[in-house]
Amino acid sequence: MADVSLRKVVKRYDEVEAVRGIDLDIADHEFVVLVGPSGCGKSTTLRMIAGLEDISDGDIMIGGDVVNDVPPKDRDIAMVFQNYALYPHMTVAENMSFGLRLKHYPKAEIKSRVTEAARMLDITDLIDRKPKQLSGGQRQRVAMGRAIVRNPKVFLFDEPLSNLDAKLRVQMRIEIKKVHQKVRTTTVYVTHDQVEAMTLADRVVVMNHGRIEQIGTPNELYHKPATRFVASFIGSPAMNFVPCRLEDVGGKLNVRLTDRLAFALPPARAARYQALSRTDKLLLGIRPEHVMDARPHAEPGVEPFDAVLDVTEPMGMETLVYFTLEGTQVCGRVSPNAGAQDGSPLRLAVDLNNMHLLNEVTGAVL
Amino acid sequence: MSTVTIDKAGPTRKVKYGSMSRDRTWALRWSYFFLTLFAIFSLTPPFYMLITSLKGSAEISAATNPWWVHQPTLENYVQLLTSNQFLRFFWNSAWVSIIVVTITMLISVPAAFALARMKFWGSATLATGVFLTYLIPDSLLFIPLFKMFAVFGDWTGIQLVNRWYVLLFIYPTLTVPFCTWIMIGYFASIPKELDEAAIIDGASWFQTLTRIFIPVALPGLIAATIFAFTVSWAQFLYPLVFTTSTDQLVLPVGIITTLIKGDVFNWGQIMTGALLGAAPPLIIYAFLMDYYIAGLTAGATKG
């Protein structure tokens, strides 16, 4: 058990900077997920923590000790790989005990640890099989078992669920969460799947172009994104961004989307955006669930408007509706009973209490 | 309910049912034709050897049908297998081959592992260099090599020329580069994560090699072993040049130098000796064929 710290960590491959100065503090017992699109440097960061990649600059600390030049085997970490990386010629038990056998643990100790881990992961029956006799999900459990028996300071997961089918992925996600609740080992988990990131993490680190865009709890990232990248990356369907500008009408602050469509801001929002320039090019960021079917009674800050739907997607518990505002496609979520149909008009409402305003040029959330 | 009209005209072109299997049939016929041709071509010499080895010297020189044995005899086999000389050649060959295979594996497996996995400065160039060495023919090397061993003998007083064990130094120049090359290909096909997992599990490079790579790459290892054995068993030029005394000869050279006296060719025994000499690699192939093929093709699928 230990905390992990990264100080201005840089990774350069010849000319390319894959990781551009990362500062990150991971507390003991914490489950941190690094998430971002492919090529954002998240896997490289993980591999630097593991010691599989040298760091070009900066410091990495595990349990307070700088481990920059410590080889992987002396860092007391365990890693789970995307393609499982099980030793094909060894049985499940041998795979799990390999690390312990190398360190010459007593046989009884090895046996009890393997049995305990197998029980925890529900693979007791498979203990004498070879990896090729196992399904993808079972292999991933063995890979986790191999990490657990080592009882390391830190668990590292490198996209462990990417090779599994959708259903199994959900199941293993829950499994990983359960394991972490039991063993409480500090965990760094890399994924490109924002749902995995949101559901597993104590804190999520969103990365893009080798930099950290934002660090926060899943709810913070969802409700208070710092940049347009985070706002669009977290949440599915993604947040809508509609070009807009602010204008004063009769002493009230309005946000104008099109020549015919403008909304009065609720008082709290108006106060927050009062100081902004009226000529700045802005984006209205609004999540699909805040573009809903208009209710009969008025609510403060919820403004109704009419839209002609392009496409509707019935999902069962809700229907996703798509319409166009000045060339920008907008997605909303309405009740399945709202009568949404492809090509027909519908009375919608936008909840401005949950809106975001972004600078169109810098992408910063204002 | 709307009415559905079906266009009865359909496609005008006649569909050739089973055209796929007809293509396949023809492909198979051609394959078998050429395979048969190739089998006849490559099996005729050993068959002729077998026929001749079963003939007495009178029948060999008689003008009868050379493809048939009229009076089969095991006389040639008995003579060869009871001659100390022939058994001596056999033992020399066996010892040389076994030791060369061992030396080759001890050098080329760690070398291949280092070149395939421990990315160090110049490792890629070195790997290509290893292969290029293999391309230099022995007919180009035997004179300078002979000179080197002769000079070495003059300087140190350790005489290596005309000793069977000189071959232990020479054969690896043929086997090590090729076996290293095979093993590089095989090791490269093992996923990178496997050694990373081993390293994180606490294995040293040596332990990764012995406990992960060698067991996983066993088919490749066996293929390389068979290759090294065959090369050293069948090598002719180097032993012809480096060994001359009868008790130092290996099988291929021994047969030629002792069974051809001037212009007298003892055909029956030459054929018998060659056949017996071909037996050990044949037996080894038969047992390890599946491994051999798996080993040779494994490196090919993934670069």
What CATH number does the domain containing B206 carry?
Answer: 1.10.3720.10
* Together in a domain, B32 and B83: no
Portion of chain B with pLDDT greater than 70, in percent: 89
A50 and chain B: CB distance < 8 Å anywhere?
Answer: yes
Interface residue of A47, A67, A81 to substitute, partner B, most B CBs within 10 Å: A81
Name the pLDDT band for B147 (thresholds 50, 70, 90).
very high
CB–CB contact B201 A50 (8 Å): no
Q: CA angle, corner A334, sides to A330 and A337, nearest 5? A: 145
Check CB contact of A102 with chain B, cutoff 8 Å.
yes
Residue B203 has pLDDT above 80, yes or no: yes
Pair (B179, B42) in one structural domain: no
Q: How far apart are CA A274 and CA B46, in angstroms?
A: 99
- What b/e string do you get for A119-136 counting C-beta neighbours within 10 Å, with b at 16 or more? ebbebeebbeebbeebeb
- Domain containing B26 equals 20-61
Name the band, by pLDDT with cuts 50, 70 and 90, for residue B10: low
Residue B199 near chain A (CB below 8 Å):
yes
| One domain for residues B215 and B294 | yes
Q: What are phi and psi of A84, to 5 degrees?
A: 70, -45
- Residue B119 contacts A, CB cutoff 8 Å: no
- Considering only A204-208, A230-234, A295-299, B233-237, which range has the smallest mean pLDDT? A295-299
Interval A116-143 mean pLDDT: 90
Residue of B193, B194, B201, B204 to mutate for A, most A C-beta atoms under 10 A: B201
Domain chopping of chain A, boundaries: 4-226, 240-359
- Does the beta-carbon distance from A88 to B216 stay under 8 Å? yes
Residue B17 pLDDT level (bands cut at 50, 70, 90): low
Question: If DSSP codes are grouped into helix, strand and coil, which group holds residue A366?
Answer: coil
Q: Which residue of B has its CA nearest to A104?
A: B202
Q: How many residues are present in chain B? A: 303
The CATH T-level fold of domain A240-359 is OB fold (Dihydrolipoamide Acetyltransferase, E2P) (2.40.50)
In contact, B253 and B243? CB cutoff 8 Å: yes
Rounded to the nearest angstrom, the minimum Cα separation between A217 and chain B is 30
B121 with B37, same domain: the answer is no
The per-residue pLDDT for B137 is: 86
One domain for residues B175 and B262:
yes
Distance from CA of B197 to the nearest CA of A (A): 7
The CA-CA-CA angle for residues A137, A76, A139, to 5°, reads 10
Residue A153 forms contact with B (CB below 8 Å): no
Q: pLDDT at position B303, please?
A: 30
**Nearest-CA distance from A273 to chain B in Å?**
51
Q: Mind listing the pLDDT tens digit for each residue in A69-92?
A: 999 989 999 999 988 889 988 999
Q: How confident is the model at residue B258, as a pLDDT?
A: 85
pLDDT of B9 reads 53
ipTM over 0.90: no
CATH code, A4-226: 3.40.50.300
Q: Is A163 on the interface with B (CB under 8 A)?
A: no
A87 and B196: CB-CB below 8 Å? Answer: no
Lowest mean pLDDT among A304-313, B235-244, B260-269: B260-269
Specify whether B215 is located in the same domain as B166: yes
Nearest Cβ partner for B216 among A79, A81, A89: A89
Chain B residues within an 8 Å CB radius of A82: 193
pTM of the model: 0.80
Q: Please report whether residue B207 resides in a domain.
A: yes
Q: Is the Cβ of B23 closer than 8 Å to some Cβ of chain A?
A: no
Q: Which residues of A touch B205 (CB under 8 A)?
A: none
Instruction: Give Cβ neighbours of residue A308 (< 8 Å, ≥ 6 apart).
Output: A323, A343, A344, A345, A346
Shared-domain flag, residues B166 and B214: yes
Please give the pLDDT value at position A102.
92
Does residue A49 register a pLDDT over 60?
yes
- Percent of chain A predicted with pLDDT > 70: 100
Q: Which residue has the tokens 């960061």?
A: A45
How many distinct structural domains can be found in chain B? 2
Give the confidence band of B94 by pLDDT, cuts at 50, 70, 90: very high
Q: Say if residue B34 is in the same domain as residue B112.
A: no
d(CA B213, CA A285): 54
Whether B69 maps to a domain, the answer reads no
- B199–A102 CB contact, under 8 Å: no
Give the phi and the psi of residue B220 in degrees, each rounded to 5: -65, -40
A135 contact partners, CB below 8 Å, separation of at least 6: none
Give a yes or no: residue B271 inside a domain.
Answer: yes
Contact B191 A73 (CB under 8 A): no
Q: Are B112 and B256 in the same domain?
A: yes
